[in-house]
Protein backbone atom coordinates (compact mmCIF):
# COMPACT_ATOMS: atom_id res chain seq x y z
CA UNK A 1 0.00 0.00 0.00
CA UNK A 2 1.28 3.44 -0.98
CA UNK A 3 -0.43 6.51 0.44
CA UNK A 4 -1.19 9.37 -1.94
CA UNK A 5 -1.00 13.16 -2.01
CA UNK A 6 -2.72 14.84 -4.99
CA UNK A 7 -2.05 18.49 -5.76
CA UNK A 8 -4.65 19.90 -8.15
CA UNK A 9 -3.77 22.98 -10.20
CA UNK A 10 -6.84 24.02 -12.17
CA UNK A 11 -5.86 24.80 -15.76
CA UNK A 12 -2.10 24.35 -15.27
CA UNK A 13 -0.19 23.81 -18.50
CA UNK A 14 3.19 22.47 -19.50
CA UNK A 15 3.31 25.25 -22.09
CA UNK A 16 4.21 27.53 -19.16
CA UNK A 17 5.64 25.08 -16.63
CA UNK A 18 8.12 23.50 -19.05
CA UNK A 19 10.00 26.63 -20.11
CA UNK A 20 9.88 28.19 -16.65
CA UNK A 21 11.14 24.99 -15.02
CA UNK A 22 13.96 24.79 -17.56
CA UNK A 23 14.91 28.40 -16.90
CA UNK A 24 15.28 27.69 -13.18
CA UNK A 25 12.40 29.74 -11.76
CA UNK A 26 10.31 26.62 -10.94
CA UNK A 27 12.84 24.29 -9.28
CA UNK A 28 10.26 21.95 -7.75
CA UNK A 29 8.39 21.49 -11.00
CA UNK A 30 11.79 20.80 -12.57
CA UNK A 31 12.35 18.16 -9.91
CA UNK A 32 9.01 16.56 -10.77
CA UNK A 33 9.80 16.51 -14.48
CA UNK A 34 13.23 15.04 -13.86
CA UNK A 35 12.48 12.48 -11.17
CA UNK A 36 8.93 11.36 -11.95
CA UNK A 37 6.65 10.07 -14.69
CA UNK A 38 3.80 11.53 -16.65
CA UNK A 39 3.43 14.64 -18.73
CA UNK A 40 0.49 15.81 -20.80
CA UNK A 41 -2.96 14.79 -19.50
CA UNK A 42 -5.76 15.28 -22.07
CA UNK A 43 -8.94 16.92 -20.80
CA UNK A 44 -12.55 16.03 -21.51
CA UNK A 45 -14.54 17.28 -24.50
CA UNK A 46 -15.32 20.04 -23.88
CA UNK A 47 -12.32 20.93 -21.67
CA UNK A 48 -14.46 22.34 -18.87
CA UNK A 49 -13.90 22.24 -15.13
CA UNK A 50 -17.05 20.30 -14.04
CA UNK A 51 -16.85 17.33 -16.43
CA UNK A 52 -13.06 17.16 -16.16
CA UNK A 53 -12.77 17.14 -12.36
CA UNK A 54 -15.75 14.77 -12.10
CA UNK A 55 -14.06 12.45 -14.59
CA UNK A 56 -10.99 12.48 -12.34
CA UNK A 57 -12.91 11.94 -9.11
CA UNK A 58 -15.12 9.10 -10.39
CA UNK A 59 -12.81 7.34 -12.85
CA UNK A 60 -15.63 7.55 -15.39
CA UNK A 61 -16.35 9.67 -18.47
CA UNK A 62 -19.23 12.16 -18.78
CA UNK A 63 -21.29 9.48 -20.52
CA UNK A 64 -21.44 7.68 -17.18
CA UNK A 65 -21.20 10.43 -14.54
CA UNK A 66 -23.56 12.77 -16.41
CA UNK A 67 -21.78 16.12 -15.93
CA UNK A 68 -21.14 18.05 -19.16
CA UNK A 69 -20.86 21.68 -18.03
CA UNK A 70 -21.69 23.97 -15.12
CA UNK A 71 -25.40 23.95 -15.97
CA UNK A 72 -28.09 21.69 -17.32
CA UNK A 73 -31.39 22.37 -19.03
CA UNK A 74 -34.34 22.19 -16.65
CA UNK A 75 -36.81 19.40 -17.44
CA UNK A 76 -39.54 20.48 -19.87
CA UNK A 77 -37.86 23.86 -20.31
CA UNK A 78 -35.18 25.67 -22.31
CA UNK A 79 -33.91 27.40 -19.17
CA UNK A 80 -30.71 26.34 -17.40
CA UNK A 81 -30.00 25.48 -13.79
CA UNK A 82 -26.60 25.16 -12.06
CA UNK A 83 -25.32 21.69 -11.17
CA UNK A 84 -23.87 20.38 -7.94
CA UNK A 85 -22.36 17.19 -6.57
CA UNK A 86 -25.88 15.80 -6.16
CA UNK A 87 -26.11 15.62 -9.95
CA UNK A 88 -23.05 13.34 -10.23
CA UNK A 89 -24.32 9.86 -11.08
CA UNK A 90 -21.19 7.80 -10.39
CA UNK A 91 -19.51 7.23 -7.01
CA UNK A 92 -16.42 9.29 -6.25
CA UNK A 93 -13.18 7.55 -5.41
CA UNK A 94 -13.27 8.90 -1.84
CA UNK A 95 -16.69 7.36 -1.29
CA UNK A 96 -15.37 4.08 -2.58
CA UNK A 97 -12.21 4.37 -0.44
CA UNK A 98 -14.42 4.97 2.60
CA UNK A 99 -16.23 1.71 1.88
CA UNK A 100 -12.83 -0.05 2.03
CA UNK A 101 -11.92 1.56 5.37
CA UNK A 102 -9.44 3.99 3.79
CA UNK A 103 -9.44 7.61 4.91
CA UNK A 104 -9.40 10.78 2.80
CA UNK A 105 -8.74 14.50 3.19
CA UNK A 106 -10.24 16.40 0.24
CA UNK A 107 -9.90 20.18 -0.02
CA UNK A 108 -11.51 22.45 -2.62
CA UNK A 109 -12.10 20.00 -5.49
CA UNK A 110 -14.75 21.36 -7.92
CA UNK A 111 -18.13 19.62 -8.07
CA UNK A 112 -17.89 18.38 -4.47
CA UNK A 113 -20.58 20.68 -3.06
CA UNK A 114 -22.50 19.66 -1.06
CA UNK A 115 -19.70 17.57 0.47
CA UNK A 116 -19.91 13.81 0.86
CA UNK A 117 -19.92 12.16 4.24
CA UNK A 118 -16.69 10.21 3.99
CA UNK A 119 -14.20 8.42 6.19
CA UNK A 120 -12.22 11.61 6.70
CA UNK A 121 -12.71 15.32 6.05
CA UNK A 122 -13.96 17.19 3.02
CA UNK A 123 -13.90 20.94 2.40
CA UNK A 124 -15.97 21.36 -0.76
CA UNK A 125 -15.10 23.50 -3.76
CA UNK A 126 -17.23 25.14 -6.44
CA UNK A 127 -20.15 25.53 -6.81
CA UNK A 128 -20.34 26.16 -3.06
CA UNK A 129 -22.05 29.57 -2.79
CA UNK A 130 -20.89 30.58 0.70
CA UNK A 131 -18.05 29.76 3.09
CA UNK A 132 -20.14 28.26 5.89
CA UNK A 133 -20.77 24.93 7.61
CA UNK A 134 -22.55 23.54 4.53
CA UNK A 135 -19.13 23.39 2.81
CA UNK A 136 -17.44 21.20 5.43
CA UNK A 137 -17.94 17.54 6.26
CA UNK A 138 -18.24 16.92 9.14
CA UNK A 139 -19.98 20.34 9.47
CA UNK A 140 -19.06 20.79 13.13
CA UNK A 141 -15.47 21.42 12.02
CA UNK A 142 -16.41 24.67 10.29
CA UNK A 143 -16.22 27.02 13.26
CA UNK A 144 -12.86 25.62 14.28
CA UNK A 145 -11.54 26.13 10.74
CA UNK A 146 -12.98 29.63 10.52
CA UNK A 147 -10.93 30.52 13.59
CA UNK A 148 -7.75 28.64 12.72
CA UNK A 149 -7.68 29.69 9.03
CA UNK A 150 -9.46 33.07 9.08
CA UNK A 151 -8.27 34.11 5.59
CA UNK A 152 -9.72 31.06 3.81
CA UNK A 153 -11.80 31.92 0.73
CA UNK A 154 -13.67 29.67 -1.63
CA UNK A 155 -12.60 31.32 -4.82
CA UNK A 156 -10.41 34.14 -6.21
CA UNK A 157 -12.88 35.87 -8.56
CA UNK A 158 -11.12 36.88 -11.81
CA UNK A 159 -13.86 39.38 -12.60
CA UNK A 160 -12.15 41.70 -10.16
CA UNK A 161 -9.27 42.08 -12.63
CA UNK A 162 -11.37 42.96 -15.67
CA UNK A 163 -10.72 46.63 -15.05
CA UNK A 164 -7.29 48.20 -14.59
CA UNK A 165 -8.24 49.33 -11.11
CA UNK A 166 -8.89 45.78 -9.96
CA UNK A 167 -5.74 44.03 -11.21
CA UNK A 168 -3.61 44.79 -8.17
CA UNK A 169 -6.30 43.67 -5.74
CA UNK A 170 -6.85 40.45 -7.70
CA UNK A 171 -3.13 39.60 -7.72
CA UNK A 172 -3.01 40.04 -3.95
CA UNK A 173 -6.12 37.91 -3.57
CA UNK A 174 -4.56 35.12 -5.64
CA UNK A 175 -1.66 34.91 -3.21
CA UNK A 176 -3.86 35.18 -0.14
CA UNK A 177 -6.20 32.41 -1.29
CA UNK A 178 -3.30 30.07 -2.16
CA UNK A 179 -1.64 30.64 1.20
CA UNK A 180 -4.89 29.92 3.05
CA UNK A 181 -5.42 26.77 1.00
CA UNK A 182 -2.05 25.41 2.14
CA UNK A 183 -2.74 26.48 5.71
CA UNK A 184 -6.03 24.57 5.62
CA UNK A 185 -4.16 21.45 4.45
CA UNK A 186 -1.59 21.86 7.23
CA UNK A 187 -4.31 22.36 9.81
CA UNK A 188 -6.42 19.36 8.82
CA UNK A 189 -3.76 16.76 8.09
CA UNK A 190 -2.52 16.80 11.68
CA UNK A 191 -5.89 15.49 12.87
CA UNK A 192 -5.16 11.97 11.62
CA UNK A 193 -2.98 9.97 9.25
CA UNK A 194 -4.98 10.09 6.01
CA UNK A 195 -4.46 7.48 3.32
CA UNK A 196 -5.49 9.82 0.53
CA UNK A 197 -4.94 13.58 0.60
CA UNK A 198 -5.86 16.17 -2.00
CA UNK A 199 -5.71 19.95 -2.13
CA UNK A 200 -6.77 21.93 -5.20
CA UNK A 201 -5.75 25.47 -6.22
CA UNK A 202 -8.10 27.54 -8.42
CA UNK A 203 -5.60 30.32 -8.93
CA UNK A 204 -3.73 28.92 -11.92
CA UNK A 205 -6.94 28.90 -13.93
CA UNK A 206 -8.33 32.22 -12.72
CA UNK A 207 -4.96 33.90 -13.30
CA UNK A 208 -5.01 32.66 -16.91
CA UNK A 209 -8.54 33.98 -17.41
CA UNK A 210 -7.83 37.40 -15.96
CA UNK A 211 -4.18 38.11 -16.69
CA UNK A 212 -3.01 36.26 -19.82
CA UNK A 213 -3.04 39.40 -21.95
CA UNK A 214 -0.62 41.11 -19.58
CA UNK A 215 2.20 38.65 -20.32
CA UNK A 216 1.49 37.89 -23.99
CA UNK A 217 2.75 40.52 -26.48
CA UNK A 218 0.78 38.79 -29.26
CA UNK A 219 -2.52 39.12 -27.42
CA UNK A 220 -4.91 41.76 -28.82
CA UNK A 221 -5.40 43.16 -25.30
CA UNK A 222 -1.66 43.37 -24.50
CA UNK A 223 -0.66 46.59 -22.77
CA UNK A 224 3.09 47.28 -22.96
CA UNK A 225 2.63 50.10 -20.47
CA UNK A 226 1.26 47.86 -17.72
CA UNK A 227 3.40 47.67 -14.57
CA UNK A 228 6.06 44.96 -14.79
CA UNK A 229 4.72 43.02 -11.80
CA UNK A 230 1.34 42.88 -13.54
CA UNK A 231 2.94 41.52 -16.72
CA UNK A 232 4.78 38.93 -14.59
CA UNK A 233 1.80 38.12 -12.38
CA UNK A 234 1.05 34.67 -13.84
CA UNK A 235 4.68 33.60 -13.60
CA UNK A 236 4.89 34.96 -10.07
CA UNK A 237 1.84 32.92 -9.09
CA UNK A 238 3.40 29.75 -10.53
CA UNK A 239 6.57 30.57 -8.58
CA UNK A 240 4.50 30.83 -5.40
CA UNK A 241 2.84 27.49 -6.13
CA UNK A 242 6.27 26.00 -6.84
CA UNK A 243 7.30 26.98 -3.32
CA UNK A 244 4.32 25.18 -1.83
CA UNK A 245 5.05 22.23 -4.10
CA UNK A 246 8.46 21.95 -2.45
CA UNK A 247 6.72 21.53 0.91
CA UNK A 248 4.35 18.92 -0.54
CA UNK A 249 7.24 16.93 -2.00
CA UNK A 250 9.24 17.08 1.22
CA UNK A 251 6.26 15.87 3.28
CA UNK A 252 5.55 13.09 0.79
CA UNK A 253 9.17 11.96 0.79
CA UNK A 254 9.25 11.85 4.59
CA UNK A 255 5.99 9.87 4.72
CA UNK A 256 6.84 7.69 1.68
CA UNK A 257 3.80 8.90 -0.24
CA UNK A 258 3.26 9.02 -3.97
CA UNK A 259 2.47 12.47 -5.36
CA UNK A 260 0.27 13.35 -8.31
CA UNK A 261 0.36 16.96 -9.53
CA UNK A 262 -2.44 17.38 -12.04
CA UNK A 263 -4.73 19.76 -13.85
CA UNK A 264 -8.16 19.25 -15.34
CA UNK A 265 -7.26 21.03 -18.59
CA UNK A 266 -4.58 23.34 -19.92
CA UNK A 267 -4.57 27.06 -20.56
CA UNK A 268 -3.81 29.54 -23.30
CA UNK A 269 -4.80 32.87 -24.82
CA UNK A 270 -8.38 33.72 -25.72
CA UNK A 271 -8.62 35.98 -28.75
CA UNK A 272 -12.38 36.10 -29.18
CA UNK A 273 -15.80 34.52 -28.78
CA UNK A 274 -18.04 32.51 -31.07
CA UNK A 275 -21.74 33.21 -30.61
CA UNK A 276 -23.01 29.83 -31.69
CA UNK A 277 -26.71 30.71 -31.62
CA UNK A 278 -26.04 33.58 -34.04
CA UNK A 279 -24.45 31.08 -36.43
CA UNK A 280 -27.40 28.72 -36.04
CA UNK A 281 -29.70 31.67 -36.77
CA UNK A 282 -27.71 32.45 -39.95
CA UNK A 283 -27.95 28.81 -41.04
CA UNK A 284 -31.73 28.76 -40.62
CA UNK A 285 -31.45 26.09 -37.93
CA UNK A 286 -32.79 28.45 -35.25
CA UNK A 287 -35.69 30.79 -35.95
CA UNK A 288 -37.31 33.73 -34.19
CA UNK A 289 -40.91 34.60 -33.46
CA UNK A 290 -42.72 37.09 -35.64
CA UNK A 291 -44.45 38.87 -32.75
CA UNK A 292 -44.10 42.64 -32.43
CA UNK A 293 -42.01 42.51 -29.19
CA UNK A 294 -39.67 39.90 -30.68
CA UNK A 295 -39.31 41.86 -33.92
CA UNK A 296 -38.49 44.97 -31.91
CA UNK A 297 -35.82 43.18 -29.87
CA UNK A 298 -34.42 41.68 -33.10
CA UNK A 299 -34.20 45.20 -34.58
CA UNK A 300 -32.28 46.39 -31.51
CA UNK A 301 -30.06 43.31 -31.81
CA UNK A 302 -29.32 44.12 -35.47
CA UNK A 303 -28.43 47.67 -34.42
CA UNK A 304 -25.95 46.36 -31.83
CA UNK A 305 -28.01 46.81 -28.66
CA UNK A 306 -26.75 43.63 -26.96
CA UNK A 307 -25.50 42.56 -23.51
CA UNK A 308 -21.88 42.45 -24.71
CA UNK A 309 -22.08 46.00 -26.05
CA UNK A 310 -23.55 47.28 -22.79
CA UNK A 311 -20.97 45.41 -20.72
CA UNK A 312 -18.17 46.82 -22.86
CA UNK A 313 -19.50 50.30 -22.18
CA UNK A 314 -19.73 49.64 -18.44
CA UNK A 315 -16.14 48.40 -18.31
CA UNK A 316 -14.85 51.38 -20.31
CA UNK A 317 -16.38 53.79 -17.79
CA UNK A 318 -15.18 51.74 -14.80
CA UNK A 319 -18.54 50.21 -13.90
CA UNK A 320 -17.88 46.63 -14.96
CA UNK A 321 -19.06 45.26 -11.63
CA UNK A 322 -22.60 46.37 -12.49
CA UNK A 323 -22.73 43.43 -14.91
CA UNK A 324 -23.56 41.06 -12.09
CA UNK A 325 -26.63 43.12 -11.26
CA UNK A 326 -28.19 42.81 -14.68
CA UNK A 327 -27.12 39.51 -16.23
CA UNK A 328 -28.57 36.78 -14.02
CA UNK A 329 -30.70 36.24 -10.97
CA UNK A 330 -33.21 39.06 -10.54
CA UNK A 331 -31.66 40.85 -13.52
CA UNK A 332 -32.46 37.95 -15.82
CA UNK A 333 -35.98 39.26 -16.46
CA UNK A 334 -34.51 42.68 -17.27
CA UNK A 335 -32.19 41.13 -19.86
CA UNK A 336 -34.91 39.11 -21.54
CA UNK A 337 -37.23 42.13 -21.69
CA UNK A 338 -34.58 44.36 -23.29
CA UNK A 339 -32.45 41.97 -25.34
CA UNK A 340 -33.05 39.17 -27.79
CA UNK A 341 -33.18 35.85 -25.90
CA UNK A 342 -34.56 32.32 -26.02
CA UNK A 343 -37.92 33.90 -25.15
CA UNK A 344 -37.93 35.20 -28.72
CA UNK A 345 -37.15 31.86 -30.36
CA UNK A 346 -39.88 30.21 -32.41
CA UNK A 347 -39.32 26.73 -31.02
CA UNK A 348 -42.01 25.26 -33.26
CA UNK A 349 -39.75 25.85 -36.28
CA UNK A 350 -36.30 25.60 -34.64
CA UNK A 351 -34.08 22.60 -35.36
CA UNK A 352 -31.00 23.30 -33.20
CA UNK A 353 -29.80 25.58 -30.42
CA UNK A 354 -26.71 26.01 -28.28
CA UNK A 355 -26.29 26.22 -24.55
CA UNK A 356 -23.14 25.82 -22.50
CA UNK A 357 -19.55 26.56 -23.33
CA UNK A 358 -16.90 25.83 -25.97
CA UNK A 359 -19.21 24.28 -28.60
CA UNK A 360 -22.29 22.35 -27.51
CA UNK A 361 -25.28 22.01 -29.81
CA UNK A 362 -28.61 20.38 -29.03
CA UNK A 363 -31.21 19.33 -31.55
CA UNK A 364 -34.77 20.34 -30.73
CA UNK A 365 -35.96 16.77 -30.33
CA UNK A 366 -39.62 15.79 -30.06
CA UNK A 367 -40.42 14.21 -26.70
CA UNK A 368 -37.24 15.55 -25.09
CA UNK A 369 -37.50 19.32 -25.57
CA UNK A 370 -40.81 20.94 -24.62
CA UNK A 371 -41.46 22.10 -28.21
CA UNK A 372 -39.36 19.64 -30.15
CA UNK A 373 -39.41 19.54 -33.95
CA UNK A 374 -36.93 16.77 -34.80
CA UNK A 375 -38.52 13.33 -35.17
CA UNK A 376 -36.62 10.21 -34.11
CA UNK A 377 -36.73 9.02 -37.72
CA UNK A 378 -34.99 12.21 -38.91
CA UNK A 379 -32.58 12.58 -36.00
CA UNK A 380 -29.46 11.03 -37.55
CA UNK A 381 -29.97 12.68 -40.92
CA UNK A 382 -30.36 16.12 -39.38
CA UNK A 383 -27.47 15.59 -36.99
CA UNK A 384 -25.25 14.60 -39.91
CA UNK A 385 -26.33 17.76 -41.76
CA UNK A 386 -25.40 19.98 -38.79
CA UNK A 387 -22.08 18.19 -38.49
CA UNK A 388 -21.36 18.77 -42.15
CA UNK A 389 -22.14 22.48 -41.78
CA UNK A 390 -19.76 22.71 -38.81
CA UNK A 391 -16.99 20.94 -40.70
CA UNK A 392 -17.41 23.28 -43.69
CA UNK A 393 -17.59 26.46 -41.57
CA UNK A 394 -14.96 29.03 -42.55
CA UNK A 395 -13.91 32.38 -41.10
CA UNK A 396 -11.32 34.59 -42.78
CA UNK A 397 -10.62 31.72 -45.15
CA UNK A 398 -9.74 29.21 -42.41
CA UNK A 399 -11.72 26.36 -40.86
CA UNK A 400 -13.48 27.37 -37.65
CA UNK A 401 -13.75 23.87 -36.22
CA UNK A 402 -10.98 21.35 -35.66
CA UNK A 403 -13.17 18.52 -34.41
CA UNK A 404 -16.87 17.62 -34.29
CA UNK A 405 -18.00 14.76 -32.09
CA UNK A 406 -21.13 12.79 -31.42
CA UNK A 407 -21.18 11.86 -27.71
CA UNK A 408 -21.35 8.13 -28.43
CA UNK A 409 -18.11 8.42 -30.43
CA UNK A 410 -16.11 9.51 -27.39
CA UNK A 411 -18.00 8.12 -24.39
CA UNK A 412 -20.03 5.19 -23.18
CA UNK A 413 -22.47 5.13 -20.32
CA UNK A 414 -26.06 5.39 -19.26
CA UNK A 415 -26.09 9.20 -19.29
CA UNK A 416 -25.35 9.63 -23.00
CA UNK A 417 -29.01 10.69 -23.60
CA UNK A 418 -28.35 13.80 -21.48
CA UNK A 419 -25.30 14.85 -23.49
CA UNK A 420 -25.30 17.51 -26.22
CA UNK A 421 -26.18 16.02 -29.59
CA UNK A 422 -22.99 17.48 -31.10
CA UNK A 423 -19.82 18.83 -29.53
CA UNK A 424 -17.24 20.80 -31.45
CA UNK A 425 -13.82 22.20 -30.63
CA UNK A 426 -12.97 25.54 -32.25
CA UNK A 427 -9.63 25.53 -34.04
CA UNK A 428 -6.79 26.08 -31.57
CA UNK A 429 -9.36 26.95 -28.86
CA UNK A 430 -8.33 30.60 -29.23
CA UNK A 431 -12.01 31.29 -29.84
CA UNK A 432 -14.53 29.82 -27.41
CA UNK A 433 -18.19 29.11 -27.89
CA UNK A 434 -19.96 31.71 -25.76
CA UNK A 435 -22.26 30.31 -23.07
CA UNK A 436 -23.22 33.37 -21.05
CA UNK A 437 -26.38 34.55 -22.77
CA UNK A 438 -28.34 33.20 -25.72
CA UNK A 439 -27.64 36.19 -27.99
CA UNK A 440 -24.89 38.06 -26.15
CA UNK A 441 -23.82 39.87 -29.31
CA UNK A 442 -25.13 40.42 -32.83
CA UNK A 443 -21.89 39.01 -34.25
CA UNK A 444 -20.88 35.41 -34.83
CA UNK A 445 -17.21 36.16 -34.11
CA UNK A 446 -16.34 38.80 -31.56
CA UNK A 447 -12.84 39.98 -30.76
CA UNK A 448 -12.05 40.76 -27.15
CA UNK A 449 -11.18 44.27 -26.11
CA UNK A 450 -11.29 43.82 -22.36
CA UNK A 451 -12.30 41.30 -19.72
CA UNK A 452 -11.37 37.63 -19.98
CA UNK A 453 -8.15 37.08 -21.99
CA UNK A 454 -7.16 33.45 -21.33
CA UNK A 455 -9.05 30.20 -21.42
CA UNK A 456 -8.76 26.43 -21.63
CA UNK A 457 -6.79 24.03 -23.78
CA UNK A 458 -7.14 20.27 -24.10
CA UNK A 459 -3.66 19.53 -22.73
CA UNK A 460 -3.54 19.47 -18.94
CA UNK A 461 -0.78 17.98 -16.78
CA UNK A 462 -0.40 14.70 -14.91
CA UNK A 463 2.95 14.44 -13.13
CA UNK A 464 3.61 11.44 -10.84
CA UNK A 465 6.45 11.33 -8.34
CA UNK A 466 7.58 9.63 -5.15
CA UNK A 467 7.07 6.28 -3.50
CA UNK A 468 5.99 3.55 -5.88
CA UNK A 469 6.49 5.68 -9.02
CA UNK A 470 9.14 4.75 -11.56
CA UNK A 471 11.40 7.44 -12.98
CA UNK A 472 11.12 8.21 -16.68
CA UNK A 473 12.58 10.89 -18.89
CA UNK A 474 10.42 13.98 -19.14
CA UNK A 475 10.43 13.33 -22.87
CA UNK A 476 8.79 9.93 -22.36
CA UNK A 477 5.11 10.63 -21.81
CA UNK A 478 2.78 7.96 -20.54
CA UNK A 479 -0.56 7.47 -22.27
CA UNK A 480 -2.83 8.69 -19.49
CA UNK A 481 -6.37 10.02 -19.41
CA UNK A 482 -8.32 11.73 -16.65
CA UNK A 483 -10.41 8.66 -15.92
CA UNK A 484 -7.22 6.57 -15.52
CA UNK A 485 -6.12 8.50 -12.44
CA UNK A 486 -8.66 7.19 -9.91
CA UNK A 487 -8.07 3.50 -10.76
CA UNK A 488 -4.31 4.06 -10.51
CA UNK A 489 -4.63 5.81 -7.14
CA UNK A 490 -6.86 3.04 -5.80
CA UNK A 491 -4.41 0.38 -7.00
CA UNK A 492 -1.52 2.21 -5.33
CA UNK A 493 -3.52 2.29 -2.10
CA UNK A 494 -3.74 -1.50 -2.23
CA UNK A 495 -7.47 -1.72 -2.88
CA UNK A 496 -9.26 -3.54 -5.73
CA UNK A 497 -10.47 -1.27 -8.52
CA UNK A 498 -14.28 -0.98 -8.71
CA UNK A 499 -15.65 -2.27 -12.00
CA UNK A 500 -17.85 0.79 -12.62
CA UNK A 501 -14.70 2.82 -13.34
CA UNK A 502 -13.92 3.16 -17.04
CA UNK A 503 -10.22 4.01 -16.76
CA UNK A 504 -7.21 1.72 -16.49
CA UNK A 505 -4.39 1.38 -13.97
CA UNK A 506 -1.23 3.04 -15.32
CA UNK A 507 0.95 0.01 -14.60
CA UNK A 508 3.73 1.18 -16.90
CA UNK A 509 4.76 3.92 -14.47
CA UNK A 510 4.52 1.87 -11.26
CA UNK A 511 7.51 0.22 -9.62
CA UNK A 512 5.50 -2.74 -8.36
CA UNK A 513 3.87 -4.72 -11.14
CA UNK A 514 1.20 -6.23 -8.91
CA UNK A 515 -1.85 -7.94 -10.39
CA UNK A 516 -4.87 -5.65 -10.68
CA UNK A 517 -7.80 -6.77 -8.54
CA UNK A 518 -11.35 -5.66 -9.28
CA UNK A 519 -14.55 -5.58 -7.26
CA UNK A 520 -18.21 -4.78 -7.83
CA UNK A 521 -19.28 -1.53 -6.17
CA UNK A 522 -22.54 0.29 -6.74
CA UNK A 523 -22.28 3.02 -4.13
CA UNK A 524 -25.32 4.77 -2.77
CA UNK A 525 -28.46 5.44 -4.76
CA UNK A 526 -28.36 8.99 -6.19
CA UNK A 527 -30.81 11.36 -4.49
CA UNK A 528 -34.28 11.62 -5.99
CA UNK A 529 -33.82 15.37 -6.35
CA UNK A 530 -30.69 17.44 -6.71
CA UNK A 531 -29.91 20.16 -4.20
CA UNK A 532 -32.05 23.24 -4.75
CA UNK A 533 -30.10 26.49 -4.65
CA UNK A 534 -31.91 29.59 -3.49
CA UNK A 535 -32.35 32.40 -6.01
CA UNK A 536 -29.64 34.36 -4.22
CA UNK A 537 -27.23 31.38 -4.24
CA UNK A 538 -27.95 30.67 -7.90
CA UNK A 539 -27.19 34.29 -8.79
CA UNK A 540 -23.94 34.17 -6.76
CA UNK A 541 -22.79 30.94 -8.43
CA UNK A 542 -23.56 32.33 -11.86
CA UNK A 543 -21.73 35.56 -11.04
CA UNK A 544 -18.58 33.54 -10.30
CA UNK A 545 -18.96 31.55 -13.50
CA UNK A 546 -19.41 34.76 -15.48
CA UNK A 547 -16.10 35.96 -14.11
CA UNK A 548 -14.58 32.96 -15.88
CA UNK A 549 -16.49 33.69 -19.07
CA UNK A 550 -19.12 30.96 -18.50
CA UNK A 551 -22.92 30.86 -18.31
pLDDT of residue 448: 80
Query: Residue 436: which of 294, 327, 335, 353 has the closest Cα?
Result: 327
The whole-angstrom separation of Cα 287 and Cα 280 is: 9
Residue-averaged pLDDT of the chain:
90
Percentage of the chain lying above the pLDDT 90 cut: 76
Q: Residue 530 has what pLDDT?
A: 60
Question: Does residue 507 surpass a pLDDT of 70?
Answer: yes
Mean pLDDT over residues 140-166, rounded? 88
- Band (pLDDT 50/70/90 cuts) for residue 164 is confident
Report the alpha-carbon angle 525-526-530, nearest 5.
155
Which among 438, 326, 404 is positioned nearest to 79, based on CA atoms?
Answer: 438
- The whole-number pLDDT of residue 129 equals 87
* pLDDT tens by residue, 282-313: 999 999 999 999 999 999 999 998 888 877 77
Q: What is the pLDDT of residue 325?
A: 44
CB 504 within 8 A of CB 484: yes
Whether residue 535 is predicted with pLDDT greater than 70 in this model: the reply is no
Q: Give dist(CA 460, CA 43) in Å, integer.
A: 6
Mean pLDDT within 225-250: 96
The pLDDT tens digits for 59-109 are 999 999 999 999 898 888 998 888 999 999 999 999 999 999 999 999 999
pLDDT of the residue at 162: 77
Q: Does residue 481 have a pLDDT over 60?
A: yes
Read off the DSSP letter of residue 103.
-
Q: 540 pLDDT exceeds 80?
A: no
Q: What's the rounded Cα separation, in Å, for the pair 458 and 11?
A: 10
In the predicted structure, residue 315 carries a pLDDT above the cut 70:
no
Confidence at residue 529, expressed as pLDDT on a 0 to 100 scale: 56
Helix or strand (DSSP H, E) at 136: strand 136-137
Band (527; pLDDT cuts 50, 70, 90): low
Partnered with residue 123 across adjacent β-strands are 107, 136
- Which residue has better confidence, 434 or 374? 374
pLDDT confidence of residue 539: 62
Q: Where in the chain are the domains? A: 28-43+98-269+456-478+491-544, 272-454
Length of the chain as a residue count: 551
Residues 6+ apart with CB under 8 A from 135: 113, 115, 123, 124, 128, 142, 154
Give the helix ranges, DSSP H, for 393-534. Answer: 407-410, 482-492
Predicted confidence (pLDDT) at residue 381 exceeds the cutoff of 50: yes
- The answer to whether 136 and 184 are in contact (CB under 8 A) is no
Whether the CB-CB separation of 123 and 132 falls below 8 Å is answered with: no
Going by pLDDT thresholds of 50, 70 and 90, the confidence category of residue 314 is: low
Q: What tens digit of pLDDT does each residue of 415-426 get?
A: 999 999 999 999
**Predicted pLDDT of residue 326:** 41
Q: Which of 41-45, 163-167, 247-251 has the lowest mean pLDDT?
A: 163-167
Q: Is the pLDDT of residue 463 over 90?
A: yes
Is the model's pLDDT at 551 over the cut of 60?
Answer: no
- Segment 433-460 mean pLDDT: 87
- pLDDT band at 329, cuts 50/70/90? very low
Amino acid sequence: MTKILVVGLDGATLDLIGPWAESGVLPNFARLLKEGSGGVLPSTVPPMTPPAWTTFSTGTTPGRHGIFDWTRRKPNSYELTPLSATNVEAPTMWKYLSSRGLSSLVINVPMTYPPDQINGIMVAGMPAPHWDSSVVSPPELFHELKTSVPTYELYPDPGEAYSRQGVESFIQRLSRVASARVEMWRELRIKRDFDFEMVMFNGTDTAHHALWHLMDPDHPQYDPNAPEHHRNAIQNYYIEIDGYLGEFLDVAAAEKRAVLVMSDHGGGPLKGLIHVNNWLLQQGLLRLKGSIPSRFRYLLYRLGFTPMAIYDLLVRVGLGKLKKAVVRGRGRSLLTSLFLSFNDVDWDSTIAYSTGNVGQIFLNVKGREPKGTVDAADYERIRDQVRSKLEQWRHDGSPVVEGVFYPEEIWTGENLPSAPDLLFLPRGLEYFGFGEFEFGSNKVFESLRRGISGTHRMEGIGLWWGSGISVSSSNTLIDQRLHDLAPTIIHLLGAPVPTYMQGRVLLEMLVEQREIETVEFEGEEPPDAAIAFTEEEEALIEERLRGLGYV
